Structure 1
Amino acid sequence: MPHCIIAGGGLAGMAAAAALGEAGFQVELFEARPFLGGRAASYGYPTAGGVETIDNCQHILLRCCVNLLDFYRRLGVANRIRFYREFHFLEPGGRRSRLAPGVLPPPAHFAGSFFRLKFLSWSDKMAVARGLRAILQGSASPELDSLTMAQWLASQGQPRRAVDRFWRPILLSAVNEELDRMAAAHGFQVFRLGFLGGPESSEMGVPEVGLSQLYAAGQWQRFPNVRIRTGEKIERFRFAGNRAAAVVAKGAEHEADYFICAVPHHHLPAVAPEIPLDLTPFQHSPITGIHLWFDRPVTDLPHAALLDRTIQWFFNKREGRYLQLVVSASRSLTELPRAEVIGLALRELREFLPGAREAKLEKAHVVKEMRATFSAVPGLASARPGPRTRFPNFFLAGDWTATGWPATMEGAVRSGYLAAEAVSEAAGRAAKFLIPGVT
């Protein structure tokens, strides 16, 4: 049985482990932290009533994330994801709008609810419709990676209100980057795949359990040949001649036939300096998660996008009393003290939710993920490596590699599957794990 060691227990490493485990490989997955999940994880937060498990930040998916859903199926947790067909938008003052697929066939299935949106004027809606038609009719050309989404929208004559209230809320949350930094290729991808595809492709999935519960030890019992080694940090890879020979963890060497390095790109030079990649084009984009607990329900909505303010989304985690707020590309908040972030969030939330104005805030918690994702800037595609390296038994995985996607959970799983395919081919046991999709 061929033996593969994987460094990194995020989604990329876990996806590779699950795929290779099913394919009959002996797999050892090393993760430095005491739990799996990487940046998509949960942890214990101490409260007066004990320790409560919370996610570092709300992570969502769309049903078009077919490889992520396939990974959940492999772990037996696909039923832990709840899907919503409707997207809710709130304006300051509390006025609601709803975007949901209707009876028309794709790509016009959102037309009915779109033209009923209250927060856009008729001229704004017509401009957006022209922009969506241009995306649908346009080609996925390399030129889209050389300009920003803001530049493309300007070239299409999109009004400021349409940009601020339609394009930005959707794309900022999907790509974790501002429109003036985001490669237009990723903006095209979000709309083509999620909103202009099939009527179910845009359904939003929200885990019903803590993120780390999705990857708990019990889920891995279905892979008897996969060993999960949490709390064991790989210090470096050792190479001999033209091959990877071993990893060093806790001072001990562990040998294998094949190796996958699924660590964040900024950790690669420390563990494998023999891999000569130019990582200077990679920048980071932060995400801030704000957890608020109230003494009473403050909303009946499961989630909503918040327009015209710093806070971009809220997710109703427990009967309207516990909300998770999300700010993507949150550079404006990274230097603020947490108390100020909480105060800003509470003030803004009360503009949208009348119920929050009288409710008492019982506790609050702020999570700043400074390196949440790589920044999906124009020109980055050429710097993202594939899974293969100059060493025939050493492979790369991670959402930062060449997946065709921005830094998303789907992109991470795609990279893990691609690395697993490369390992299988190198072992003379070629297999396909990646489910093709729109890229």
Structure 2
Amino acid sequence: MTAPCAQPRASGAGPTEAHVVVAGSGLAGLTAACDLADAGFAVTLVEARARLGGATFSFQRNGMTVDNGQHVVLRCCTAYQGLLDRLGSSAGMDVQDRFHVPVIAPGGRFSELRRTDAPAPLHLASAIARYKALRPADRVRVLRAALALRSLDPDDAALDSHSFGDWLVRHGQNDATRDRLWNLITVAALNGDVSQVSLASAAKVFRTALLDAADAADIGIPRWPLEDLHVRPAEKYLLERGGQIRTHSPVRGVAPVRGRFLVRLDDEVLDADAVVLAVPPETAARVCPERAGLQQWRLARLGVVPIVNVHVVYERPVTDLSFVAAVSSPVQWVFDRTAAAGLTEGQYLTVSLSAAETWLAAPASTLREVFLAELGRLFPDAATTPHSRFFVTRQRRGTFRQSPGSNRLRADQHTALPGLVLAGSWTATGWPDTMEGAVQSGHRAADLVFTQLAGGVSR
């Protein structure tokens, strides 16, 4: 991982009389607010909804704690893990000692991808060579393409114009390798099929996570609900440092007035020295003054891609795997969330479905029919074990559409108005739309405010 973890600034480093409004309480907003409070600013965090957390939150359902979706990190996600360390909740993240992904291949065959201690990129060579989901000839194809992919520079803007799928075809990949290996990673990391995502974004994912450092892709899975992992700890952290938090408070407009900003809410106007807009792109475009220089047409073209999660609670355990991927199946990834949800009996499985346009509008009855049958095929015990609960969560705005050309549409975090900055995983962080990208954007937003108000030096 090449991006260092941003560190909180020393308390009192900024002018305590300066007031900063942070709009949006997702990971980007929470990170920026905590950074600014540490720097000595008076911080008001405003959130449109009744709860904090943005796109990563938990809720209660029938006595269990449910995350709105399954979120994981990799060892290379140092900014997010650094945030957990800072909030005192890193014990809630379980990171593998060594990258290992169980895979259920066509026909119910069990395979796996497991790294060795060899230096990158050799650490995955034996995993590919033994990957039973592919024929031996296709494994060779994958190894050749992986070496070619390692030569690409994710920062080369020209790559953003090309499709990762087209690049794979040019490098000898067939339907089997795309379906059973490349999409295994691409759909989960970029919320899109290889044919739909930018080559630049794919190069960033594969090089940073899998090809440049041996331990970068070691997988971290929350053992606590997201609410306990970062939402409530960040709320507590901010309040302990004098920050104010207001829910049910959507921002309706931001107006620059003599070097300051008036932030209009439904019931009052807040006077601020600086504003961090950690909100979705269309909200930022709507509330920003014209002088901020946001090009609304660019942000509108980013689009969105949904993520759907299927939740099933079985009366008895049906698998001993903590998580597993499935290829050539409607099921993509399955996670055991029994302990995290607070259940002491049965087994609670979540099926995470990225690039889920097919399932977004499908009725729950259809999802029940398809996925209960498929889970029964993947886990034979599930076919004969009654389930006590079945429900579906849908994130219509899972990520922005990380298609060819999307990186050119992402907004810079600074605007034409000093003191008005943007944050969010959709901004130009250099990372895909992930929790890591959100946290990095929050650190950068706080840095920009600090530089503009306190004369600090931006990283």
Residue 280 (str. 1) matches residue 320 (str. 2): no
Moved more, 311-320 or 282-291: 311-320
Cα distance per residue 1:97-127 (max 9 Å; x no partner): 1212213222211222221111111111100
- C-alpha contact (below 8 Å) 2:37/2:243 kept by paired residues: no
Match of residue 208 from structure 1: 223
Specify the SS of the correspondent of 2:193. coil
- The letter of the residue matching 1:59 is H
Q: Which residue is equivalent to 2:46? A: 30
Does the 8 Å contact 1:36/1:215 carry over to 2? no
Q: Which residue matches 1:437?
A: none
Match of 2:153 in 1: 139
- Map 1:147-226; keep pairs closer than 5 Å: 147-223=162-238, 224-226=240-242
Q: How does 1:58-69 map to 2 (within 5 A)?
A: 58-69=70-81
The range that moved more, 144-153 or 334-343, is: 334-343
Indicate the SS of the match to 1:59: coil
Does the residue aligned with 1:346 lie in a helix, a strand or coil?
helix
Could you say which residue in structure 1 is the equivalent of 2:252? 236
> Is contact 1:91–1:352 with CA below 8 Å preserved after alignment?
no
Task: Give the secondary structure class of the aligned counterpart of 2:320.
Answer: coil
Tell me the distance in 2 between the aligned counterparts of 1:92 and 1:296.
25
Cα separation, 2, equivalents of 1:214 and 1:33: 20
**Structure 1 residue aligned with 2:262, among 227, 237, 246?**
246
Is 1:88 paired with 2:117? Answer: no
Equivalent residues of 1:148, 1:181 under 8 A apart:
yes
Please say if 1:333 is aligned against 2:340.
no
Equivalent position amino acid for 2:295 in 1: L
Distance 1:226 1:30 in 2: 14
Change in CA separation of 1:218 and 1:411 when aligned onto 2, cut-off 3 Å: closer
Which of 366, 381, 390 does residue 355 from structure 1 map onto? 381
1:411 paired with 2:431, answer no
- In structure 1, the residue matched to 2:426 is 400
Equivalent AA in structure 2 for residue 40 of structure 1: T
Deviations along 1:232-259, one digit per CA (max 9) or x if unpaired, are: 3233233144645222234111112111
Give the Cα separation in 1 of the matches to 2:352 and 2:244: 31
Q: Percent identity?
A: 32
Match of 2:143 among 129, 134, 138: 129
Q: Which runs of 5+ in 2 are unaligned?
A: 1-15, 340-345
Deviation at 1:335, TM superposition (A): 2.1
* Alpha-carbon distance in structure 2 between the residues aligned to 1:240 and 1:42: 36
Structure showing the higher helix proportion among its residues: 2
Give the total of aligned pairs: 429
Say which of 129, 141, 152 aligns to 1:115: 129
My pick for the range that moved more, 318-327 or 300-309, is 318-327
Question: Secondary structure of the equivalent of 1:71?
Answer: helix
RMSD between superposed Cα atoms in Å: 1.8
After superposition, the C-alpha distances for 1:314-372 in whole angstroms (9 at most, x for unaligned) are 00112771001011000111221111112111111111111111111111110111111
Cα deviation, 1:185-242, whole Å, max 9, x if unaligned, reads 1111111111113222111111111112223445544443352424232332331446
User: In the superposition, relative to structure 1, how do residues 317 and 220 fare at CA in structure 2: closer, same or farther (>3 Å)?
Assistant: same
- Cα deviation, residue 95, structure 1: 2.0
Distance (whole Å) between structure 2 residues aligned to residue 429 and residue 75 of structure 1:
27
Unaligned runs of 5+ in 1: 434-439
Give TM-score, length-normalised by structure 2: 0.89
Question: 2:90 matched to which residue of 1?
Answer: 78
CA distance 1:66–1:421, change in 2 (3 Å): same
1:260 to 259, 276, 298: 276
TM-score by length of 1: 0.93
C-alpha separation in 2, matches of 1:155 and 1:226: 56
2:321 pairs, out of 287, 296, 301, with: 301
Check the 8 A contact 1:176/1:329 in 2, yes or no.
yes
Q: Which residue of 1 aligns with 2:330?
A: 310
Measured at CA, do residues 203 and 431 of structure 1 come closer, stay the same or move farther in structure 2, by a change above 3 Å? farther
